[in-house]
Chains A and B, each alone.
Chain A
C-alpha cells in the first residue's frame, strides 16, 4: 500500500507561495526582456553611428572632390574640351557627308567626246541627279557620250530626255538626265585626303 503524505500547510499559504513564484517569474521574464531590448537598442545605436560615420566620410569626400572639380581652372579645361568635342562631332559629320562634286567634275570632262559641246550642267531637283544640255554634230557623238557616262563608275543611270535636230545648223541638241552613284563617305574622304597631300 502506497503511503500518501498529508499536506499540512494550509491551502491559503500554498496559494500565496505559488502566486509569489509566478510574480517573480513574470518580473524576471520582464526584466530579461527589457535587458534584451536595451541590448537591441544599444546595437542599433552602434550600427547607426557606424553608418553615420561612413556616410559623413563619403559625403565629405564627395564635397571635397566636387570642390576640386569646381575650381575655375578645371572648369575652364572642361569648357575647352567640350568646345573641341562639339566642333569635332560637327566636323566629323561634315567630312563624312559624301561630296561628289570633286570626283565628279575631275573626270566629267574626260567623258565628253570631242565635238560635243556642253551647254549646261545643272543639279536636278532631286539629289543625285544632274541635268545635262549639250550639242553634238551627229548621233555617233551623242551615243559615245551616253556610252562613256553609262560606263563611268560615278554614274548609276543615264536617261536621254530630249533630242532635237537643228537642220539649219547641222547639229543635234540633246538633254540627258544623269543619276549619280552615291559614293561611300570614306571613299570621298580618302580621295580628298590623297589629293590634299599632293597639293601645294
Chain B
C-alpha cells in the first residue's frame, strides 16, 4: 500500500519530464536568450551610431583639419583681425579716423570712442569740416578703411564756404569664441563665398585721393517725370 503511494505512475513521470523541459526552456529564454538578444540589439545600435559618427563627423573633420594650411590660416586671421578685431581697441578707431581725415584733407573735430560691450561695437561722434570734394573723399575712404567702419545719423551742414559733417562712427568688433564645441560639432571648410569676403577684406585700406573721388559720374536717366513740373 505504502509503495504504491510513493511510486509515480508512468503518465505522471512523463508529465513531470515535459513540465521540467518547459520550465527549463522558459528559464533559458528569460534568463539568457532574451537578455542576450537585447544586448545584441543595443550593441548593433551603438555600432551603427558610432559608424555614422565616424563617417559623417569625425573622419571628414579630421581630413579637413589635416588639409588646412596653417600659414594661410594665420595670414587670413591677421587680415581679418585688422578689419574686425577681437577686442574693442578704441584707440585704434580714433587713430584710423585721424588717418582717414589726413588722407582726405578734412579738418577733424575731437573724438571720443566708447566701447559698447553688449553690442560689440565702438562708437564715436564724428565732426569733420571740408569742402564738398573733401567730405566725399572722407566718406569714400571711411568705407575702405582697414578696420570696417560705418556711419550713422549723418548731418551735412553749410558753414560759410565749407561743409560740416556730423555723424556717429560705428566700429564693430567680434570677440574670440569662448569654446570650440565638442569633437563632433560640424566644421566647414572655407568655400568660394568665404574667399570672396577675404578678397574684399584684402581690398580694404586702399584709399582714394580727393581728385579721383570728386570726378563726377554721369548718371543714366530714370525716365521719371518731375511731379512739380506742370
Contact = CB atoms under 8 A, between A and B. Distances in A.
Do the two shown chains form a genuine complex with each other?
Answer: yes
A88 B194 CA distance: 6
Contact of A69 (B43, B62, B80, B198): B62
A88 B203 CA distance: 14
A84 B190 contact: yes
Nearest to A97: B150
Given A62-B50, A107-B219, A143-B229, A84 B73 contact: yes
Interface string A48-88: 10011011001101100110111000110111111111111
Contacts of A183: none
B122 interface: no
Interface in B139-154: 139-140, 143-144, 148, 150-151, 153-154
B84 A65 contact: no
Contact of A147 (B183, B206, B212, B226): B226
A169 interface: no
B215 to A, nearest CB: 9
Contact of B201 (A91, A117, A118, A120): A91
B25 A33 contact: yes
Contacts of A192: 143-144
Contacts of B132: 109
A41 B70 CA distance: 56
B91 interface: no
B208 interface: yes
A175 B70 CA distance: 58
Contacts of B208: 195-196, 198-200
A101 interface: yes
B180 A75 contact: yes
Interface stretch (B11-19, B92-100, B111-119): B11-19
Contact of A119 (B53, B58, B81, B157): B157
Which of A47, A54, A147, A151 gathers most chain B CB within 10 Å? A151
A51 B43 CA distance: 7
Contacts of A87: 80-81, 83-84, 174
Which of A82, A109, A199 gathers most chain B CB within 10 Å? A199
A102 B206 CA distance: 15
Interface in B47-68: 47, 50-51, 53-54, 58-59, 61-62, 65-66, 68
A107 B226 contact: no
A140 B83 CA distance: 47
Given A33-B21, A88-B197, A102-B143, A146 B10 contact: no
Given A81-B73, A82-B177, A107-B216, A91 B32 contact: no
Interface residues of A, number: 82
Contacts of B220: 153
Interface in B174-198: 174, 176-177, 180, 183, 187-190, 193-194, 197-198
Contact of B21 (A34, A47, A198): A34
Please name the 9 residue pairs, one residue from A and one from B, whose CB atoms are nearest each other, closest first: A19-B10, A199-B208, A147-B226, A55-B43, A26-B14, A120-B157, A121-B156, A87-B80, A122-B155
Interface of B: 10-11, 13-14, 17-18, 20-21, 24-25, 28, 32-33, 36-37, 39-40, 43-44, 46-47, 50-51, 53-54, 58-59, 61-62, 65-66, 68, 70, 73-74, 76-77, 80-81, 83-84, 86, 132, 135-136, 139-140, 143-144, 148, 150-151, 153-158, 163, 172, 174, 176-177, 180, 183, 187-190, 193-194, 197-198, 200-201, 203-204, 206-209, 212-213, 216-217, 219-229
Given A44-B32, A101-B154, 20 more contacts: A23-B14, A44-B36, A44-B37, A48-B39, A51-B43, A62-B53, A65-B58, A78-B61, A85-B194, A88-B194, A92-B193, A106-B136, A106-B217, A107-B219, A150-B228, A152-B219, A153-B220, A189-B200, A198-B208, A200-B209
